Amino acid sequence: MSPLCESFLTSDELDQAEHYYPLHIYLCSECLLVQLREYVSPQHIFNQYAYFSSYSTSWVNHAAEYCRRITERLRLNGDSLAVELASNDGYLLQHFARYGVPVLGIEPAANVAEVAIGKNIPTLVEFFGLDLAGRLVAEGTRADLIIGNNVLAQVPDVNDFVAGMQRLLKPEGLITLEFPHVLHLIRENQFDTIYHEHFSYFSLATIERLAARHSLRLVDVDELRTHGGSLRVYLAHMASCHDVSVRVPALLEVERQLGFHELRGYAAFSEQVRRTKRRLLSFLIEAKESGKTICGYGAPGKGNTLLNYCGIGTDFLDFTVDRNPYKHGRFTPGMHIPIYPPEMIDEAKPDYILILPWNLKDEIIAQMRHVAAWGAKFIIPIPAAHVVDPRECA
């Protein structure tokens, strides 16, 4: 049982009841889609949202490099249109301005979309699906490029979403989708990426099946380091002229060899997660018993899955910090750990810093290397708890 991972609390809400929902992962025995039940609607989750993409420097840089490469690949220009689904605060679309490519963002969270609109990025505050795609096409809008970064997992009706993309895409257009690869989730124990806001977890094989159901072809795939190991897939219309890259069958074969085309590839995950929980708690208990002080760095959604599943509250972490001002003065859901600006670490000078967004550990350690001055060390919880001494980092 776990609260919604982005439902950060104000001090007035700490003495009120919180909603908890089952957090159990399921595997379809036919299509092998890894998924959660829909306990909460996207409208409830994303009406006001606490995640702003631009607070991660490495993620913004990742987006900028993508825009450069895809503009060259598709030869986008002033007559093209790039549409991003779940465009957040404009972290990605802003980079197309330097190439003169017109853009359109579609973002359901009004508070996040407002930031993008403030950057002069045209943004529709709506949920995307076949209905919205039909309205846009009827108005004469079709896309040369459709972008969806870490959004497909957050859509309970993936068939409606993909059907909408197929409808909006020009005949020779391209769709690119980024999402954490379920292969890394299973093999590298990334259980904290499972939370209610993520309804699905994809292998390349499930994406291929999903695309074919909606008359789309999987034509290319990139393996990325983001979010602990992600895929960027490229989809095109069945009748388009896009060639299929050799990377597609090669990665499908890797998944097959590792057992991800059948149930056995997923069988050991549960015990693996329990073992990780026990080892992390053992380390934290030993540290506290020896008088060490511990705080957190970051307040990401994945961090709240970790904290709630492991039962890590203020008995272990004195506080956590985050670069996002929206979260300052609030408390994490469930465990009620206070969230402060990063400068609080310099004031408190803890012995250990638990990095909750472990996928950004290199960026965070580089930013916070000065904590070595008082002997602080970092705890990385995934794939297994281990300590990093900033004095030993290059």
pLDDT digits (tens, 9 = 90+) for 84-120: 999 988 999 999 999 999 999 999 988 889 999 999 9
Same domain, 216 and 311: no
Per-residue model confidence (pLDDT) at position 17: 92
Cα angle 297, 300, 304 (rounded to 5 degrees) comes to 95
pLDDT of residue 218: 98
61 and 180 part of one domain: yes
Regarding whether 158 and 262 lie in a shared domain, the answer is yes
pLDDT category at 45 given cuts 50, 70, 90 is low
In a domain, 282, yes or no: no
| Per-residue pLDDT at 393 | 77
Does a structural domain hold residue 2? Answer: no
- Do 143 and 53 have their domain in common? yes
- Please write the tens of the pLDDT for every residue from 247-284: 999 999 999 999 888 888 888 899 999 999 999 999 99
Is residue 98 situated within a structural domain?
Answer: yes
Q: Report the half-sphere exposure of 160 (CA within 13 A, side-chain side).
A: 11
Give the pLDDT score at 226. 80
Residue ending a domain, choose from 220, 235, 266: 266
Task: Provide the pLDDT for residue 47.
Answer: 56
Query: Are 179 and 309 part of one and the same domain?
Result: no
Q: Helix/strand/coil (H, E, C) string of 313-371?
A: CCCCCCCEECCCHHHCCCECCCCCCEEECCHHHHHHCCCEEEECCHHHHHHHHHHCHHH
Q: Domain containing 115: what range?
A: 31-266
Whether 308 is in a domain gets the answer yes
Q: Taking 70 as the threshold, does the pLDDT of residue 15 lie above it?
A: yes
DSSP label at 245?
P
Are residue 118 and residue 84 in the same domain, yes or no? yes
Residue-wise pLDDT for 171-185, tens only, equals 999 999 999 999 999
Q: Is 77 within the bounds of a domain?
A: yes
What are the CA-CA distances from residue 6 to residues 103, 127, 300, 333, 334 (Å)? 28, 18, 8, 7, 11
Residue 202's pLDDT is 95
CATH code for position 381: 3.40.50.720
Task: Name the percent of the chain lying above pLDDT 90.
Answer: 77
Tell me, what DSSP letter sits at residue 157? -
90 part of a folded domain: yes
pLDDT reported for residue 222: 97
State mean pLDDT over 342-365. Answer: 95
Both 299 and 198 in one domain: the answer is: no
Give residue 52's pLDDT. 63
Last residue of a domain, one of 266, 298, 329: 266
In DSSP notation, 2-27 reads B--TT-PBPGGGTTS----B----EE
Shared-domain flag, residues 103 and 171? yes
Q: What is the count of structural domains for the chain? A: 2
Spatial CA neighbour of 254 closest among 184, 304, 190:
184
| Secondary structure letter of residue 241 according to DSSP | -
At 48, is the pLDDT very low, low, confident or very high (cuts 50, 70, 90)?
Answer: low
Residue 228 lies in a domain: yes
Return the pLDDT at 257: 93
pLDDT band at 313; cut points 50, 70, 90: very high
- Residue located via tokens 């929206």: 326
| Same-domain status, 181 and 317 | no
Phi/psi of residue 99, nearest 5 degrees: -105, 0
> So what's the pLDDT on residue 42?
67
**Do both 160 and 306 map to the same domain?**
no
Reported confidence tier of residue 348, pLDDT bands at 50, 70, 90:
very high
Query: Does residue 186 surpass a pLDDT of 70?
Result: yes
56 and 88 fall within a common domain: yes
Question: For residue 26, is it within any domain?
Answer: no
CATH of the domain at 202: 3.40.50.150
Overall average pLDDT of the 25-41 stretch: 87
Q: Are residues 201 and 308 in the same domain?
A: no
Percent of the chain with pLDDT over 70: 96
Q: Is the pLDDT of residue 59 over 60?
A: yes
